[in-house]
Amino acid sequence: MVSVKKIYFFFSLFIFSVCFSQSADLSKLESEVFALNKKGDYKVSQQKVIDFLKRRSLSSSDEAKLYVLLSATYRSLLDYPTAIDYLLQAQSIGTYLQPNDSVVSEINSQLAYLYFDSNQYDKCAKIMQIIEKNKYINISPVDKAYLTMQQGYLQFLENNYELAAKKYNEALKILQKASPCDTPVILVKEMQLYGKQQNLSEAENFYQKSIKISDSCKILKYKLYATEELVTVYQQNKAYEKADHYSKVAQDLRKQFDREGKVFDLHEESMKYVEEEEKDFEQFNLIKTIIYIISLILFLLLVYYFYKKSSYHKREKEKLDAELSQMKKELKVFSEYQFTHQNSAKEADVLNFEKLNDRQKELLKYMTEGFSNKEIAEKLFITEATVKYHIKNIYEILELKNRKDFFAKISKKQ
């Protein structure tokens, strides 16, 4: 019979394997989404996340993580309002998660980025204070680099250029090791800093560095971002000829990027997903109710089965205890008879007691004292099977059919 411990062990092993497999799938999905977003395959990226969301066995942490990934796709397209909405949904789902959960940390850092990118600096500062208060727990090196860069930009807005440059350099060093292809984000900020200081040659130098890395990593959005910001730098410094030149470059890049068309496609796909979810919701609830009822019935049947089994074993134990009690009474009678009449020749003649060898007599003595076969085996250092064999021989020597016959003869002689 399979023990309850074994059932629990295999059930736990099954649950662990399912959770581990799902966690591995989600980690793989995250890598795919980032790679697709960098290549500009936003529609494919979103569809992969939506397909994963359709699974019904997601934990709150996993579901929140998927909304973070959806947000990342829209952030890549610079659709900040939609990206923020998805993060707020993720935050709502993760309400019951622990503050030190990695998903909670990721939601906070992504919100800080989006508030920053959408110029909501007050909200950005509040989120960053929370992250700093939590000592950057579960914050990846890449995220820490971006957050450091944002601290630098907030200093830049306060005209603290020296401190801003220091923060940018700190962020750049982290990102060069953690994710070199993303360094244009910080290089553009440094370009803005030099533009503000009217050092246009150094500003264009950082622009060219950014373009070189963007081309090397084949990230079109970084080229567009750098070019649009350079146009702003030249316009602010009244270098209109340069501004016009790079405006045309930015226009060509926009056509390649086709950002607005991609955003429209994504929203269309997102709406399809919502409609499918609504259609499936009632059916899913019905199936869930049926599964719940079946599970409840199976559980009750299981409880009933174990109750009946327990009752059966209890009855069997009571019967066995009664038999053992009766055996002890009978053995006591035999013991009294044996040690009271063992020198009687006539009685020895009837029971053939003298024909028993020393081992058999020793075994019989333990039987009269109420020891079980197992206990006798332990005392004599023999197996239970050997004990049974000796008992059978004892009955044969005493010319008895069974234990009842044995006690019946003792009773008559007494």
- Mean pLDDT taken over the chain: 79
Q: How far is CA 183 from CA 121, 171, 210, 211, in A?
A: 22, 9, 7, 11
**pTM, whole model, 2 decimals?**
0.51
Q: What is the arithmetic mean of pLDDT over 100-125?
A: 86
- Asked whether the beta carbons of 184 and 219 are under 8 A apart, the reply is yes
Domain at 283-413: CATH code: 1.10.10.10
Q: Model confidence over 349-369: pLDDT tens digits?
A: 445 667 788 888 888 778 767
- What are the phi and psi torsion angles at 238 (to 5°)? 60, 30
- Which pLDDT score is estimated for 2? 45
Q: What is the arithmetic mean of pLDDT over 246-274?
A: 73
Domain over 16-127 is classified CATH 1.25.40.10: yes
Predicted confidence band of residue 232 (pLDDT cuts 50, 70, 90):
very high
Q: Model confidence over 18-54: pLDDT tens digits?
A: 444 455 677 888 888 888 887 788 888 888 888 888 7
Predicted confidence band of residue 208 (pLDDT cuts 50, 70, 90):
very high
- Name the residue among 99, 97, 67 with its Cα closest to residue 83: 67
Q: What is the dihedral of CA 320, 326, 331, 336, to 10 degrees?
A: 160
Q: Where are the domains of the chain?
A: 16-127, 283-413
Domains 16-127 and 283-413 share a fold: no
Amino acid, single-letter form, for residue 404: K
